[in-house]
Structure 1
């Protein structure tokens, strides 16, 4: 099985590669359109800033490529946000695969709620979906983010910080996770394993 991890101007990619290795999969980190097209599955991870990342994708025409892919595709963290329509982070037009807006967390009480949101939160309101098969009871995942995708018809799991937000999205061959599965222990490992089996 060929797994392509999209290389773009973002951090945290190496830990995703290590997580895949622990599952017995050697993925290729690449921004080569032909290698991405030829992959059986594509992963789009990252930490970073939305407008800078979109500029990188557009400069290499990866924005159009991503929208044309037919194989299972998984966005992670910033990858989820870039798959949405628009991000409040520097007023960025994103890929628009999910017609969803990405907004900044606004804490009502800065003493109680810090932004960025960092830590473990439970996945709730899980839909029936191959990505969510056989997760442990009360699944907790690890987050590091200041922006979130609004709830929508494409939300297949939620989490709560300040308010409910989209934890996982699904549309056609595209899935996206706001948390970091590569840092989310057995739950994250199961999410990645489920994606690899789709």
Structure 2
């Protein structure tokens, strides 16, 4: 899972609480790192640890468990976690699964690329573990992931997290603010207000693309 997506979770939750009710929230899995069993190169391990340190310095209240790097053989593969979220969505627990994977990875130092970690997350949030396990490796979930990756690309969302406001078929990038959700809220409201001056009956949604 993307470290910056984890860092965005508090600001994102605060933003959602203040959005107009007529804005649909849509999560899209961006994919990021395809399936592999190859250990993460040492240079990448060092890079990610430096990113964690940057986040801890920049975003108050966000911390990481660095024991992850000594307890695991890191694998740069986020597709399994993306599939787990899509499988949890079928049981109406998409957001719960995102939070559970974040806790497992960043706080408990568990490897989110491993099926047993994801299965443990499913049990933690009360999913039907057998159904989740079948869905996790199903063609339906794989097709769904590939579809969402294509949707993310159509929204020009290649970094994570990304916010895109879709309003009457027009796409508006919303700059991410990890510290102050109100800047995003105000930008969304301003964009909608200006875009609806000449339009009526808006069809709108806010897409959060993550990995």
Instruction: Output the TM-score relative to the length of structure 1.
Output: 0.24
Structure with the bigger percentage of helix: 2
Greater relative CO, 1 or 2 (CA 8 Å, sep 6+):
2
Larger % of strand: which?
A: 1
TM-score, normalisation: structure 2: 0.23
